[in-house]
Amino acid sequence: MRHLYIHIPFCHRRCSYCDFNTYANMEHHIAAYVDALCTELAMLRESLPPLPKSPAAAALRPSIFFGGGTPSMLTPAQIERILIAAAALVPLETAEISLEANPGTVLGRDYLRDIRSLGVNRLSMGVQSLHDPTLRILGRIHTAAEARASYLDARAVGFESINLDFIFGLPGQDLADWQATLTEVIAWDVDHLALYSLILEENTPLYAQVTAGRVQIPDDDLTAAMYELAMDLLDKAGYRHYEISNWVRPQPDDRPDAPPRLACHHNLAYWFNSDYLAAGAGAHGHLFPQRYANIRSIDGYIAAVQAGHRPIAETIPLTPADLAAETMMMGLRLDIGVSFEHFAARVGDDLIEHYGTTLHELMQHGLIAMDDRRVWLTERGRMVGNHVFAHFL
Ligand code: SF4
């Protein structure tokens, strides 16, 4: 199955914690940017990756993911143009088509209905917090009530799947605040939740505020307790914790040894370490044996495409050892872990022969478990995932 990431690098204003490749007050470039995107998508027809050999990866839906930035700043007509250009790369009829939406942008029911009628079937909304003072510190352009209203509008319009993103470990947040947020969201009966701990990125206003002591954030122990609380409450509410940071409402046809139907299939392609195309300023594609990164600036990206070039800033070669390590590090993020069949099909080697000593050591420490088909992280391993992943490098 083929997967395509499309980057939309525009935001109304930058959030205080954000270091994504996105720009505020550049709306006047959107029309030219959409033209350039459509041209780049036509160029990508020459670079289609082979279909995956792994049965698990081949079983995923094809996918298009509009990420950002704030893709919901595009008009339905602009989204339609991009989808028409993308149709030569990914079959739209069967694809999961996700779009990241910011509750602060104009997300009325008419807009949501229009983009759904174009084929967007999965909406991912960055809510981040349900506490208005915290949203203000984060520089978000919406209130908690607006986020809830946008979610209910999306629900009413009938999206196949809706994800909400939240951050924990936020300035001033304590365990009781986080519990209140989780309890409210569980009551909304959301299909899919992505919960991330705050990463303080250098060169962001929030980093400067925290290092200057003007804003306090929870320490590592409290942040870990928030993660454990999320695991506990969402488990009791019936969610499946299918990836380290992602939970989903199980569906009747879900199988425990396969990804859930309402999982994000685009992200599953990353976790299966599949190849994927990417278009847009600063977008990263993965076509083994290489990864590529596009030009980050909007001007530079548009100029390169207008000059008739692929807008690639950097190509990074990948070795078979990289492929093996990344297949493990990405796959172990999933509750189903990495199957021997998937590893052999993707890497062309036997998992036990390749990593036998490492797997044995991690099992002895209770960080992974294994049966005759697959290897996966234990509950303890999930708490120290990065430590486990480092063993495969
Ligand atoms: S809306 Fe998202 S991409 Fe835009 S500035 Fe905020 S965090 Fe960054």
381: pLDDT strictly greater than 90: yes
- Convert the pLDDT of each residue in 100-124 to its tens digit: 999 877 678 999 999 999 999 999 9
* Ligand 1 pocket mutation pick from 17, 22, 100, 206 by most atoms within 8 angstroms of CB: 22
Ligand 1 centre from 15 Cα, in Å?
5
Question: Whose Cα sits closest to atom 8 in ligand 1?
Answer: 18
What is the structure's pLDDT at 77?
98
Report pLDDT for 57: 95
Q: What is the pLDDT of residue 162?
A: 97
Residue 318 has pLDDT above 90, yes or no: yes
Residue 1 is predicted with a pLDDT of: 66
- For 61-73, write each residue's pLDDT tens digit: 999 999 999 999 9
Q: Quick one: average pLDDT of 319-323?
A: 97
Ligand 1, residues at Cβ distance < 6 Å: 11, 14-15, 18, 20, 22, 68-70, 102, 126
Residue 221 predicted with pLDDT over 70: yes
Question: What is the best residue among 27, 66, 70, 127 to mutate for testing ligand 1's pocket, by most ligand atoms within 8 Å of CB?
Answer: 70
Q: Measuring from atom 5 of ligand 1, which residue has the nearest CA?
A: 14
Fold identical between 3-271 and 320-390? no
* CA distances in angstroms from 296 to 42, 107, 154, 371, listed in the order given: 20, 27, 31, 44
% residues pLDDT > 90 (the chain): 96
- On the question of pLDDT at 142 being above 80, the answer is yes
The neighbour count for residue 188, using CB atoms within 10 Å, is 13
Classify domain 3-271 by CATH number: 3.20.20.70
The residue type at 333: R
Q: What is the mean pLDDT of residues 218-225?
A: 96
pLDDT digits (tens, 9 = 90+) for 280-292: 999 999 999 999 9
Q: Which atom of ligand 1 is nearest to the CA of 17?
A: 7
The per-residue pLDDT for range 257-279, each reduced to its tens digit, is: 999 999 999 999 999 999 999 99
Give me the mean pLDDT over the 148-172 stretch.
95
Atom number, ligand 1, closest to the C-alpha of residue 13: 5
Cα 225 to ligand 1 centroid, rounded to whole Å: 26
* Residue ranges per structural domain of the chain: 3-271, 320-390
Task: Please list the residues that pair with 165 across neighbouring strands.
Answer: 126, 194
CATH number attached to the domain at 320-390 = 1.10.10.10
CA distance 175 to 227: 10
Name the residue at shortest CA distance from atom 2 of ligand 1. Answer: 69
Q: Binning pLDDT at 50, 70 and 90, where does residue 211 land? A: very high
